[in-house]
Chains A and B, each alone.
Chain A
Amino acid sequence: MSSTTNSPTHHTSTIGAIGAPSRRNTELALLVFAVAIPVFAYANVGLAINDQVPAGLLSYGLGLGLLAGVAHLAVRKFAPYADPLLLPLATLLNGLGLVAIWRLDQSKLLQAIKVAGTTAPRQLMYTAMGIALFVVVLIFLKDHRVLQRYTYISMVGALILLLLPLVPGLGANIYGAKIWIHIGSFSIQPGEFAKIVLAVFFAGYLMVKRDALALASRRFMGLYLPRGRDLGPILVVWAISILILVFETDLGTSLLFFGMFVIMLYVATERTSWIVFGLLMSAVGAVGVASFEPHIQTRVQAWLNPMREYKLSRTVTHDGIVHSDQLQQALWAFGSGGTLGSGWGQGHSDLIKFAANSDFILATFGEELGLAGIMAILLIYGLIVERGVRTALAARDPFGKLLAVGLSGAFALQVFVVAGGVMGLIPLTGMTMPFLAYGGSSVIANWALVGILLRISDTARRPAPAPATNPDAEMTQVVRP
């Protein structure tokens, strides 16, 4: 299962080393950079746009530093053996995101169409809420295995969250995708939270059913085919994803949930056949829905020919479809950035207009920091994901492994789907870059996600209770390869 089933060559990565360093000081040192870099970036934006260091520099720096400090102290106190990289990486992305959002707040164009203007202070508030939730997770979730108890409650919770945008009067249709709900002046994207809750459900469910799913199978053409009755769960999740696609017309959320499930199913059962099934089913589902859903068709058209869409958006069309030049504008932003970018505050990514600071925020980084900046950011995301998967490897219990890989996999898929969409690699979907983009739900949910990952890694790396002293121990010669 966990460390016990490992081949001997790998056990250094999975056995909680006795007396392992907690790595908290490494984390603190990295955090200093994670706060300093955004502060410099912030000064840079101010100098580029207004020729002066922004007045809010000190409070912004102190605010971000304070939040990072609180998070660090919470980790030191409640999860001392947690992974040292995750918190600094998330802080860095969150800080850079704040700078980009503040930079777009300065755009007269975005102010005029009310997309930006005062979004940075709100994002800072959301960040504070996110870090508060992060701390709450560390304090109250003493052991991630507690979550196992709530497997089926999680299922119900996730379904409710996913269905909320469809409730009349609560849901909102923004640019064709129905993934938002409005409460008062706040709009919430329940899908971001559903991601975590669903991962808990899948992990709990698969931990129980994995043997049945893995062992009862027939071999056919080199693949282990599952029994008909074991197909049930994957069919249900598939159906739910299709329903999301049809009713909320959001390809991204649908792909994210189904992909997460397939990843977890594969890890739980070690059966490659599930991946094949998963890919086939998602292909059938996506093509099937796209054949009759005009919104998805528009997205695909816009992806295949963004220039045509740009031209249509500038003329009066009578086809009843909202044509958007956003993708073409984003591509221009990336292209105009080139290798090194125009520099903070000197690009024109505000031409993307709607969602320039949320779904399309990566284009601002692309234009102002260039290829170099985007590669750095993608690598930071890659590091977060790989630290998450490493946490799964290190975890000693199957539930922890499944939960960690589910959360990291979902995070990776989300980054891929959003960045790929903005860069024109795949059709655009309605999701946002974790930590970078403006949006409360996204920031808060992703801080909770990092909190859970830290909890699992803390449990994994925590030293095992010291074994009884063996007088022969010193006599034993250990030969290491």
Chain B
Amino acid sequence: MNKPLRRIAIFCGLLVLTLLIRDNWLQYVKADSLKEDQNNRRVTIARYATPRGDIIVGGTAVTGSTQTNNSGLNDLKYKRTYKNGPMWAPVTGYASQAFGANQLESIEDGILTGNDDRLFFRNTLDMLTGKKLQGGNVVTTLNAAAQKAAYDGLKNVGGKGAAVALDPATGKILALASYPSYDPSSFAGNSDKDAEAWKKLQKKYNPDDPMLNRALREVYPPGSTFKVVTAAAALENGLYTSADQPTNSPLPWVMPGTVTELKNEGNIPCKNATMREALRVSCNTVFGKIGADLGNDKMLAEAKKFGFDSEHFTPVRSAASVFSDDMNKSQTALSSIGQYNTAATPLQMAMVAAAVANDGKLMKPYMVDELQTSNLDPIEKTRPQELSRPLSTQNAQILQSMMETVVEKGTGTRAQIPGVTVGGKTGTAQHGVANSKNPYAWFISFAKLKDGSSPVAVAVVVEDEHANRDDISGGGLAAPIARNVMKAVIGNRT
């Protein structure tokens, strides 16, 4: 009877061995993915176990933390608070006990909670000295005055829209506003009140979709502002080498392969106009024909150099702007004046203005300047990074002077700032079936100081459902907002 007994002993050993192997699989191999699973409540508990680190703008925190009522069943100790929530929401995103986190609050969660691996050494030290775990801070590149100018400007106009300002030389994001916005404080907790506030903000219940980050995640037809890209393509491909040579532009112009005339807005002098003049009065025929002459491939290549057709991570992801790659000549012509399939995020158009202002060098846009420990020691600093060179220095300067003419005596006069050279381009993009919806008013611009440096480039887009359709034009609605943002950045540097 002993032989089977020995075998049973082995069998029982194998049962235990199987359990040991399974446990190693579970607690070693799969441990991290289980631990970091967003559905794992522990992730949320850890996120609010200590006062969360802050998101900082210009030395001041725009976020905070308060202790929640922890007497009952609430297992989350702290709650996020926001200062000027609606204004900063497109930058911070939200961190809600009940509804998770997004944007910076989610991307830099490890730093803000203090659980990031880069804080390991400090945490170990703190543990030894008996200090409680504290979250680190995220220092942004934003400029509070510019952000306020952008948000207030959009709010005063009262329509849906967004504004983005960049530092052309570095790619720092200076302003990132979206309207209508939301207050992330309103649903930061997990009470019924928070749930109610959250529900009201959802697109299903609120057609204005206030939680959409229009500056990064919404694409709009860029309209005439795209003509800057088309002009850049013409210069770069040698189609025209100067802003002041007459272009080969018949009027009326029938798009190739069709019997349709491309129309201009009103009776403007576009026949064989120079590019400077065509940009000043915004000739559809001149830039449409440039697009058709260059063809889809060359236009696409230039658009891609400006950042079209790819997502950008600031580190918050922005949607990819669109310039299509399989168009015939007439479609390319329409796309080259910012219609047809062409669509761009406000960030993308700000990148276009910034690249021109920075003498043709496009810098990668970013909004996190530095990550800090809780006692302000730097952990990581973002270095400016070149993304591409859509223009040669010479061509960039030609384009700058063309855009300056637009503001000086063209459609963008309302963006003028005394003592500062401003270049810009207006745009009025039609949309909806048979252009039935209200058009979008665009304005992109840059400011140049006396020393020739350019501290800011801006893109503003506004859709105003309430306004009279005729009133909407980039020059009328969007340009003053852009001007105020630029003024806020320049401050007293003039």
In the complex, whether A448 has a CB less than 8 A from a CB of chain B is no
In the complex, whether B128 has a CB less than 8 A from a CB of chain A is no
In the complex, whether A14 has a CB less than 8 A from a CB of chain B is yes
A109 to B73, CA, bound (A): 6
In the complex, whether B376 has a CB less than 8 A from a CB of chain A is no
In the complex, whether A378 has a CB less than 8 A from a CB of chain B is yes
The answer to whether A332 touches B27 (Cβ under 8 A) is: no
Contact of A412 among B5, B15, B39, B41 (CB under 8 A): B15
Q: Report the stretch among B6-14, B193-201, B348-356, B454-462 that lies at the interface.
A: B6-14
The answer to whether B20 touches A378 (Cβ under 8 A) is: yes
The answer to whether B16 touches A389 (Cβ under 8 A) is: no
A95 to B186, CA, bound (A): 48
In the complex, whether B40 has a CB less than 8 A from a CB of chain A is yes
A121 to B7, CA, bound (A): 41
In the complex, whether A25 has a CB less than 8 A from a CB of chain B is no
B128 to chain A, nearest CB (A): 16
In the complex, whether B203 has a CB less than 8 A from a CB of chain A is no
In the complex, whether B2 has a CB less than 8 A from a CB of chain A is yes
B18 to chain A, nearest CB (A): 7
- List residues of B (96-116) whose CB comes within 8 Å of A's CBs: none
B263 to chain A, nearest CB (A): 54
A436 to chain B, nearest CB (A): 14
In the complex, whether B30 has a CB less than 8 A from a CB of chain A is yes
A109 to B74, CA, bound (A): 9
Contacts A336-B40, A385-B16 known; A331 to B27 CB distance under 8 Å?
Answer: no
A255 to chain B, nearest CB (A): 12
In the complex, whether A270 has a CB less than 8 A from a CB of chain B is yes
- CB-defined contacts of B13 to chain A, threshold 8 Å: 382, 386
- List residues of A (321-376) whose CB comes within 8 Å of B's CBs: 328, 331-332, 334-339, 348, 351, 366, 370-371, 374-375
B265 to chain A, nearest CB (A): 53
A423 to B40, CA, bound (A): 16
The answer to whether A389 touches B26 (Cβ under 8 A) is: no
A254 to B443, CA, bound (A): 75
A401 to B3, CA, bound (A): 12
In the complex, whether A6 has a CB less than 8 A from a CB of chain B is yes
A393 to chain B, nearest CB (A): 5
The answer to whether B73 touches A112 (Cβ under 8 A) is: yes
The answer to whether A375 touches B4 (Cβ under 8 A) is: no
In the complex formed, the residue of B with least CB distance to A267 is B4
In the complex, whether A124 has a CB less than 8 A from a CB of chain B is no
- CB-defined contacts of B218 to chain A, threshold 8 Å: none
- CB-defined contacts of A310 to chain B, threshold 8 Å: 39
A374 to B26, CA, bound (A): 11
Contacts A408-B12, A423-B22 known; A389 to B75 CB distance under 8 Å?
Answer: no
- CB-defined contacts of B469 to chain A, threshold 8 Å: none
The answer to whether A267 touches B23 (Cβ under 8 A) is: no
The interface size bin for chain B is 35 or more
Contact of B31 among A338, A379, A386 (CB under 8 A): A338
In the complex, whether A116 has a CB less than 8 A from a CB of chain B is no
Contacts A412-B15, A419-B19 known; A270 to B30 CB distance under 8 Å?
Answer: no
- CB-defined contacts of B42 to chain A, threshold 8 Å: 332, 336, 348, 351
Contact of A1 among B1, B27, B30, B35 (CB under 8 A): B1
A136 to B389, CA, bound (A): 90
A448 to B375, CA, bound (A): 60
The answer to whether B23 touches A420 (Cβ under 8 A) is: no
The answer to whether B19 touches A416 (Cβ under 8 A) is: yes
The answer to whether B1 touches A335 (Cβ under 8 A) is: no
The answer to whether B1 touches A270 (Cβ under 8 A) is: yes
In the complex, whether A409 has a CB less than 8 A from a CB of chain B is yes
A452 to B107, CA, bound (A): 60
Which of B4, B37, B75 has most chain A Cβ within 10 Å?
Answer: B4
In the complex formed, the residue of B with least CB distance to A271 is B4
In the complex formed, the residue of B with least CB distance to A381 is B16
The answer to whether B23 touches A392 (Cβ under 8 A) is: no
Interface 1/0 per residue, B70-90 and A, CB below 8 Å: 001101000000000000000
- Main SS at interface, chain B: helix
Which of B23, B27, B30, B45 has most chain A Cβ within 10 Å?
Answer: B27
Contacts A5-B2, A337-B27, A398-B1 known; A423 to B19 CB distance under 8 Å?
Answer: yes
The answer to whether A6 touches B2 (Cβ under 8 A) is: yes
The answer to whether A420 touches B19 (Cβ under 8 A) is: yes
The answer to whether B23 touches A375 (Cβ under 8 A) is: yes
- List residues of A (367-418) whose CB comes within 8 Å of B's CBs: 370-371, 374-375, 378-379, 381-382, 385-386, 389-390, 392-393, 398, 401, 405, 408-409, 412-413, 415-416
In the complex, whether B260 has a CB less than 8 A from a CB of chain A is no
- CB-defined contacts of A405 to chain B, threshold 8 Å: 5, 8
The answer to whether A392 touches B5 (Cβ under 8 A) is: yes
In the complex, whether A69 has a CB less than 8 A from a CB of chain B is no
- List residues of A (1-45) whose CB comes within 8 Å of B's CBs: 1-2, 5-6, 10, 14
Contacts A332-B40, A338-B35, A423-B23 known; A382 to B16 CB distance under 8 Å?
Answer: yes
In the complex, whether A266 has a CB less than 8 A from a CB of chain B is yes
In the complex, whether A244 has a CB less than 8 A from a CB of chain B is no
The answer to whether B27 touches A366 (Cβ under 8 A) is: yes
A5 to B41, CA, bound (A): 60
The answer to whether B34 touches A401 (Cβ under 8 A) is: no
A423 to B4, CA, bound (A): 30
In the complex formed, the residue of B with least CB distance to A3 is B2
A413 to B18, CA, bound (A): 12
In the complex, whether A300 has a CB less than 8 A from a CB of chain B is no
Which of B22, B35, B45 has most chain A Cβ within 10 Å?
Answer: B22
- CB-defined contacts of A5 to chain B, threshold 8 Å: 1-2
A389 to B73, CA, bound (A): 47
Contacts A374-B27, A382-B12, A389-B8 known; A335 to B35 CB distance under 8 Å?
Answer: yes
- CB-defined contacts of B34 to chain A, threshold 8 Å: 331-332, 334-336
A243 to B248, CA, bound (A): 93
In the complex, whether A263 has a CB less than 8 A from a CB of chain B is yes
- CB-defined contacts of B7 to chain A, threshold 8 Å: 266
In the complex, whether A424 has a CB less than 8 A from a CB of chain B is yes
A367 to chain B, nearest CB (A): 9
The answer to whether B19 touches A425 (Cβ under 8 A) is: yes
B328 to chain A, nearest CB (A): 48
The answer to whether B31 touches A263 (Cβ under 8 A) is: no
A5 to B3, CA, bound (A): 11
The answer to whether B8 touches A420 (Cβ under 8 A) is: no
A351 to B15, CA, bound (A): 28
A267 to B32, CA, bound (A): 44
Contacts A270-B3, A339-B28, A366-B27 known; A348 to B16 CB distance under 8 Å?
Answer: no
A366 to B24, CA, bound (A): 11
A319 to B16, CA, bound (A): 37
- CB-defined contacts of B12 to chain A, threshold 8 Å: 382, 385-386, 389, 408-409, 412
In the complex, whether A142 has a CB less than 8 A from a CB of chain B is no
* 5 nearest CB pairs, A to B: A335-B34, A371-B27, A382-B16, A412-B12, A389-B9
Q: 8 A-B pairs, CB-CB below 8 angstroms?
A: A266-B8, A268-B1, A332-B42, A379-B16, A390-B9, A393-B6, A401-B1, A409-B12
Residues of A within 8 A of B (CB): 1-2, 5-6, 10, 14, 108-109, 112, 263, 266-268, 270, 307, 310, 328, 331-332, 334-339, 348, 351, 366, 370-371, 374-375, 378-379, 381-382, 385-386, 389-390, 392-393, 398, 401, 405, 408-409, 412-413, 415-416, 419-420, 423-425
Not counting A386-B9, A389-B8, A416-B19, a sample of 20 additional A-B residue pairs whose C-beta atoms are within 8 angstroms of each other reads A5-B1, A108-B72, A267-B5, A310-B39, A332-B40, A334-B27, A348-B42, A348-B45, A371-B27, A379-B16, A386-B13, A389-B9, A389-B12, A393-B9, A401-B1, A408-B12, A415-B16, A416-B16, A423-B22, A423-B26
